[in-house]
Amino acid sequence: MKKIVILASGNGSNAESIIRYFKPKKKIKISYIISNKTDAYVLDRAKKHNIPHLVIKNNRFNENKTFDFFKEIKPDLIVLAGFLIKIPINNFSNKIVNIHPSLLPLHGGKGMYGMKVHESVKKYNDCVSGITIHYVNENYDEGEIIFQKKIKINKSDTVKIISEKVKIIEHKFYPKVIESLLN
């Protein structure tokens, strides 16, 4: 059985879509959900679905104890789903994937996440946006691109509407790309 570990810092809507997608699957399971915030709603989602979960504080991601934990649980893939801190990739090269709410390299880099990305898309009057699923490397949003999906942006679209359009394709495609990486 293939094991996924999800790292998330907030609400966890992408984590929820991944959980729902893989729940009926027999060959892939979510083995842990890890957050860096004790009040992250993603932890409630983990409880609701009976998925083991824990909090690792930001400064502890560099500790050997944390690396030992990951080596012990042996994830086949580490999935970032709104995880807002940079983590050392060390022995996990090409085992960590992330989703970004724009077509990288546009609107990416340090500090570009969530609504900030959609505000940037609106500010620059982009006529398309979308998602990028990529491997994580040592730089923000610069890992090898695995998948991109475009959506049309209308001039009348608000930042909220852009966000909603992007969220729909995130939930649709992230689980499928994860599955393809594990098969």
Query: Is residue 91 classed exposed, middle or buried when 0-12, 13-18 and 19+ CB atoms within 10 A define those classes?
Result: exposed
Residue pair 141/108 in contact (Cβ under 8 Å)? The answer is yes
Other residues' Cβ atoms within 10 Å of the Cβ of residue 125: 8
Selected catalytic residue, list 100, 107, 118, 134? 100
- Both tokens of 14, joined, read 């992408």
Q: Is 100 a catalytic residue?
A: yes
Q: Which helix (H) or strand (E) holds 85?
A: none
H or E element, residue 141: none
Indicate the residue type of 150: K
Determine contact, residues 1/29, Cβ cutoff 8 Å: yes
Positions marked active-site: 100
